């Protein structure tokens, strides 16, 4: 329950910030263009707080935190007296209207840059992309990747950490191959070719790396308990953080992986755990929980180990000075923008399935997880979602900013507005498509947690 409330709170904070940023872009440029803004609302529904500014704009925080809007004086909707026509949105030039609409997504990109700049100033701790294992006969093994190799580049993009590797490999979905530069354990470099014709990657069941046959390096787990899930089978059995697991059903444990293999293969069974606590051994009874997965039913105990220390030099921090962070932030913002466009294209071409779409539940989980890791990770999450929000809003679909820009571009090229009847039909069709996509995303979220 506490985890749910944490995720919900982080989601509301993240969405509130991003919506406020987006709508402020529309608001600010509208005011610059002399448009009278009637209302600036964060959220929909019943107002929880409101205030009227000196300019007459009503500022509102509403009950449903799933969006927001800026309501401008508009002769197509309002009865505008002659003396205020110069302040109406529809009486502005087509370029001014385009600027007002484009400002929302534009400010999302600016905010993403600012969030990443702050992240690089604060410092983001990460690890080198060193490979621990390569699955035999996998795409990586066939390419010539070996244990101990370290990713240096995918294509011409540097990959200093696993996040960068994941982003670059995902961007290759639908391509025939990917060139990868690796650093070998003896400090030599080699370039290998990943053949991706038969790359079957399902993000709901595996990571891009595991689907390629790669296991990232991480320190060896000990048999000491480092974390226990709330309400898990381990907690119900009485396990505590710091306990050392000694045996299962009287059989001595040689490693943490041996415990994992036993638990996974024995869902719903009652077992006896021998543990060492405060120098004394004792026995605990536990009933292994079960999970339904694409591979069938698997056992689940709800416990994680502590790990041996990282080797020297594996863990480092992305932290830069004020000026250097600007270049790093610009580069990452641009890469997130181009990757978002690429993913939309792959969705249209069918290289990515609609079942991979994520909705508000997944975003809430991501917000809670990133906030739990610290400020730098939350800033990185905000930047990613802000870029996605900006790109999605630029899709030329009526109901979105991109749809309005499409109509105004046609007006600019032809010299006359798109007929209102055509716009109305566009909004109806766009609304149906948008709600269908949202429905698919929400159903995907529900399926992932079911």
SS3 381: helix
For residue 370, the model assigns a pLDDT of 53
Structure tokens at 448: 């992932």
Which residues are identified as catalytic?
23
For residue 342, the model assigns a pLDDT of 86
For residue 121, is pLDDT > 80? yes
For residue 442, the model assigns a pLDDT of 62
For residue 85, the model assigns a pLDDT of 85
For residue 253, is pLDDT > 70? yes
State how beta strands 189-195 and 177-183 pair. Answer: antiparallel
Task: Return the higher-pLDDT residue of 433 and 151.
Answer: 151
For residue 348, the model assigns a pLDDT of 79
- Do residues 140 and 214 lie in contact, with contact meaning Cβ atoms separated by under 8 Å? yes
For residue 114, the model assigns a pLDDT of 95
Q: What is the mean pLDDT of residues 152-172?
A: 90
Which sign, positive or negative, has the C-alpha torsion 234, 240, 245, 251?
negative
For residue 294, is pLDDT > 70? no
CA distance 64 to 53: 23
CATH superfamily of domain region 221-307:
PDZ domain (2.30.42.10)
Q: For the chain, what are the domain ranges? A: 97-123+320-450, 125-219+309-318, 221-307
Return all residues near 280 (Cβ < 8 A) that are at least 6 apart.
none
List, for residues 22-49, the tens digit of each pLDDT value: 999 999 999 999 999 999 998 888 888 9
CATH superfamily of domain region 125-219+309-318:
PDZ domain (2.30.42.10)
For residue 357, is pLDDT > 60? no
List, for residues 196-246, the tens digit of each pLDDT value: 988 887 776 678 888 899 999 999 899 999 999 888 888 898 989 999 999
For residue 3, the model assigns a pLDDT of 58
Return all residues near 421 (Cβ < 8 A) that are at least 6 apart.
none
- CB environment 276-287: b (16+ within 10 A), e (fewer): beeeeeeebebe
Same fold, 125-219+309-318 and 221-307: yes
Q: What is the mean pLDDT of residues 128-134?
A: 93
Q: Which residues pair with 51 in a beta bridge?
A: 59
SS3 100: helix
For residue 405, the model assigns a pLDDT of 93
Q: pTM of the full predicted structure?
A: 0.80
For residue 84, the model assigns a pLDDT of 84
């Amino acid at each position: 329950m506490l985890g749910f409330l944490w995720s919900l709170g982080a989601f509301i904070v993240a969405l509130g910030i991003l919506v406020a940023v987006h709508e402020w872009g529309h608001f600010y440029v509208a005011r610059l263009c002399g448009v009278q803004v009637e209302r600036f609302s964060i959220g929909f529904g019943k107002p929880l707080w409101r205030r009227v500014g000196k300019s007459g704009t009503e500022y509102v925080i509403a009950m449903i935190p799933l969006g927001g809007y800026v309501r401008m004086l508009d002769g197509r909707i309002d009865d505008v007296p002659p003396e205020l026509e110069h302040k109406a949105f529809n009486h502005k030039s087509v370029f001014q209207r385009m600027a007002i609409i484009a400002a929302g997504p534009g400010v999302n990109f600016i905010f993403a840059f600012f969030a990443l700049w702050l992240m690089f100033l604060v410092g983001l701790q990460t690890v080198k992309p060193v490979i621990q294992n390569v699955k035999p006969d996998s795409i990586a093994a066939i390419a010539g990747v070996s244990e101990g190799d370290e990713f240096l580049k995918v294509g011409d993009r540097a990959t200093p950490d696993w996040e960068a590797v994941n982003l670059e490999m995902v961007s290759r979905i639908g391509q025939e191959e990917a060139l990868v530069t690796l650093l070998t354990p003896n400090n030599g470099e080699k370039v290998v070719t990943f053949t991706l014709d038969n790359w079957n990657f399902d993000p709901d069941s595996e990571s891009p790396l595991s689907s390629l046959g790669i296991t990232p390096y991480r320190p060896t787990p000990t048999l000491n308990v480092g974390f226990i899930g709330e309400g898990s089978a381990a907690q119900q059995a009485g396990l505590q953080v710091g306990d050392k697991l000694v045996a299962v059903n009287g059989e001595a444990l040689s490693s943490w992986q041996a415990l994992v293999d036993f638990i996974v293969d024995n869902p719903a069974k009652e077992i006896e755990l021998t543990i060492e606590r405060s120098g004394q051994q004792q026995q605990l009874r536990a009933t292994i929980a079960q999970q339904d997965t694409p591979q069938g039913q698997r056992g689940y105990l709800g416990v994680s180990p502590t790990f041996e220390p990282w080797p020297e030099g594996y863990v480092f921090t992305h932290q830069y000075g004020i000026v250097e962070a600007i270049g790093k932030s610009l580069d990452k913002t641009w890469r997130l923008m181009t990757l978002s466009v690429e993913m939309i294209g792959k969705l249209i071409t069918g290289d990515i399935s609609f079942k991979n779409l994520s909705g508000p539940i997944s975003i809430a989980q991501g917000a809670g997880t990133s906030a739990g890791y610290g400020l730098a990770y939350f800033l990185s999450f905000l930047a990613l979602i802000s870029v996605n929000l900006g790109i999605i809003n630029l899709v030329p679909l009526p109901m979105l900013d991109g749809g309005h820009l499409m109509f105004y571009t046609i007006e600019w090229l032809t010299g006359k507005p798109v007929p209102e009847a055509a716009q109305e039909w566009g909004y109806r069709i766009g609304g149906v498509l948008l709600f269908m996509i949202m429905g698919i995303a929400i159903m995907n979220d529900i399926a992932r947690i079911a």
